[in-house]
A = this chain, B = another copy of it.
Amino acid sequence: MADVEFDFERVRRIGLAEAVLGAGKNAGQLIEIVETARSRDVPVLLTRLSLEAGEALSGRFGAAVDYDPLSRTAFVGAVEGPSGAPRVAIVTAGTSDLPVAVEAERTLAFNGLAVERFVDCGVAGLWRILRHEEALRGFPVVIACAGMEGALFSVLGGLIGGLLIAVPTSTGYGLAEEGRTALHAALVSCAPGVVVVNVDNGFGAACAAVRALNLATPRR
Residues of A within 8 A of B (CB): 2-5, 7, 9-10, 13-16, 19, 21, 23-25, 29, 33, 48, 85, 87, 92-96, 98, 117, 119-128, 137-141, 147-151, 153-155, 157-165, 170-181, 183-201, 203-216, 219-220
Contacts and interface: CB of A to CB of B under 8 A. Distances in A.
Contacts of A7: 124-125, 128
Contacts of A125: 7, 9-10, 13, 158
B159 A14 contact: yes
A188 B174 contact: yes
B165 A187 contact: no
Contacts of A160: 14
A160 B184 CA distance: 26
20 contacts: A3-B119, A5-B120, A21-B94, A33-B95, A122-B190, A139-B220, A149-B188, A151-B185, A155-B155, A163-B211, A165-B195, A170-B174, A174-B183, A181-B184, A181-B185, A187-B197, A193-B211, A195-B204, A195-B208, A212-B215
Given A128-B5, A155-B126, A204 B210 contact: no
A198 B193 contact: no
A3 B120 contact: yes
Contacts of A140: 214-215, 219-220
Nearest to A121: B5
Contacts of A200: 173-174
Contact of A192 (B4, B19, B25, B164): B19
B204 A176 contact: no
Contact of A198 (B29, B94, B180, B187): B187
A211 to B, nearest CB: 5
A154 B220 CA distance: 23
Contacts of A122: 190
A94 to B, nearest CB: 7
Given A7-B124, A125-B10, A174 B179 contact: yes
